[in-house]
Amino acid sequence: MLYKVLKAKLHWARVSSKDLNYEGSIVIDEELMRRCGILPYESVLIVNVETGGRFETYAIPGGKGEIKVNGGTARLSEVGDRLIIMAFAWMEPEEARSHRPKVLVLNERNEVVVEK
């Protein structure tokens, strides 16, 4: 049996921009993606802390400090909203028991203030 466990989390990422006319996805600062282990085009679950809304999309690498919500999901966030961006992995029980997710807590400029 496999367990779905949290692999990576960007906590309190701030929406820096949005584009309703883009096909979809969320653009995330490439360095943040690298540091927490989110791969380009990987599926991510996003919670908007301001509204409680949730949506799933895929991650695209972006520029420094960039958190850009695209496509229809742009209607679910406003610039300045805090997001929790999570990626998950399927693991065998042995691996899941010892696994610890990579968590980055961000400030209002999407800079890392805590790394776990």
The type of residue at 68 is: K
pLDDT of 24 strictly over 90: no
Per-residue pLDDT band at 64 (split at 50, 70, 90): very high
**Domain regions of the chain by residue span:** 3-115
Architecture of domain 3-115: Beta Barrel (2.40)
Query: What's the confidence (pLDDT) of residue 75?
Result: 95
Give catalytic residue positions: 25, 58
Mean pLDDT of the chain: 97
Q: How far is CA 19 from CA 24, 45, 68, 85, 95, in A?
A: 9, 19, 7, 18, 39
Rounded mean pLDDT, 12-28: 95
Query: What's the confidence (pLDDT) of residue 29?
Result: 98
Nearest to 32 by CA among 50, 11, 5, 57: 11
For 74, phi and psi rounded to 5 degrees?
-60, -20
Extract the tokens encoding 14: 């701030």
Rounded mean pLDDT, 34-58: 98
Supply the pTM of this predicted model. Answer: 0.97
Nearest to 55 by CA among 40, 29, 77: 77
Residue with tokens 């958190």: 67
- Does residue 75 contact residue 22 with C-beta atoms inside 8 Å? no
Query: What's the confidence (pLDDT) of residue 23?
Result: 81
